[in-house]
Amino acid sequence: MSKNIIIRTEREADFSAVYEINCKAFGTSEESLLVDKLRKSGIPLISLVSELDDKLVGHILFSQAHIISENSRIEIMALAPMAVLPEYQGQSIGSRLVKHGLDRCNQNDFKAVAVLGHPEYYPRFGFEPSRNLNISCSYDVPEEVFMIMELKRGFLKNVAGQVEYHKLFNELA
Ligand SMILES: CC(C)(COP(=O)(O)OP(=O)(O)OC[C@H]1O[C@@H](n2cnc3c(N)ncnc32)[C@H](O)[C@@H]1OP(=O)(O)O)[C@@H](O)C(=O)NCCC(=O)NCCS
């Protein structure tokens, strides 16, 4: 466990390091380019970095998404992408980014967060399979990888619909 880790809001001076972190973690520039485009899109974002001894080693992004039903459009946040430099993985840096990010979403009054990811990883933070609720993902993904978490208790009670990420995510799908 790395002790000298600071989690903080991303600044403009971090953009190139964040680009590199995403490239190295994912082995492609697709997520890096998506992050760049989302910053320019103007939608609500929460973007945090983890800094270890003055070096950026991780990044997490939350962006505005919506649960769409016939007669409603409910704002939530979506966690994606998140990345830790390969040589720093497995030291809980990713977990700290998720926890700080969820706290920040809560402080900013977002009521729920969705994630598409590993079903063994995200439940430890409170995410549950969306199939437990009447909520699905607009992308054609296995249902167990799509999870959602209430930040405000009861917020998703009686909510049914499909989560739509910002259309820029379609380029990744
Ligand atoms: C996913 C990732 C951010 C986790 O960061 P990390 O600092 O290694 O995370 P932690 O140390 O807090 O947790 C490690 C756990 O993550 C799991 N993990 C590693 N890669 C994973 C992945 N792609 N998806 C889900 N879980 C993963 C490990 O199995 C480990 O589980 P354990 O605690 O049960 O042993 C990092 O592995 C990474 O950058 N992966 C490549 C990019 C990626 O797949 N991002 C997620 C999708 S957006």
Question: Position of tokens 């964040």?
Answer: 18
pLDDT on residue 172: 81
Which pLDDT score, from 0 to 100, does residue 1 have? 54
| pLDDT > 60? residue 2 | no
Q: Supply the pTM of this predicted model.
A: 0.95
For the record, the structure tokens of 95 come out as: 């977990």
The H-or-E segment that residue 36 falls in is helix 30-41
Rounded to an integer, the average pLDDT of 116-133 is 94
What's the pLDDT score for residue 104?
A: 98
- Per-residue pLDDT band for 24 (boundaries 50, 70, 90) equals very high
Residue nearest to atom 17 of ligand 1 (CA): 121
Coil, strand or helix at 25: helix
Measured from the CB, is residue 2 less than 6 Å from ligand 1? no
Q: What is the mean pLDDT of residues 26-47?
A: 97
Q: Is the CB of 115 under 6 A from ligand 1?
A: no
Q: Please give the Cα distance from 7 to 33 (Å, whole number).
A: 22
pLDDT per residue as tens digits for the range 37-90: 999 999 999 999 999 999 999 999 999 999 999 899 999 999 999 999 999 999
Residue 103 carries which side chain, given as an amino acid letter? D
The pick from 84, 102, 116 for probing ligand 1's pocket by mutation, whose C-beta has the most ligand atoms within 8 angstroms, reads: 84
Q: For strand 146-150 and strand 128-129, is the pairing parallel, antiparallel, or unpaired?
A: antiparallel
CA of 45 to the centre of ligand 1 (A): 22
For the chain, the average pLDDT equals: 95
**In the predicted model, what is the mean pLDDT of residues 119-135?**
94
Pick the CATH number of 5-171 from 3.20.20.70, 3.10.580.10, 3.40.630.30, 3.40.640.10: 3.40.630.30
Percent of the chain with pLDDT over 90: 92
Domain spans of the chain, in order of start? 5-171
Q: Which amino acid is at 91?
A: Q
d(CA 29, CA 24): 8
The number of the ligand 1 atom at minimal distance from the alpha carbon of 83 is: 39
Tokens of 65: 């998404």
Give me 129's structure tokens: 């399979």
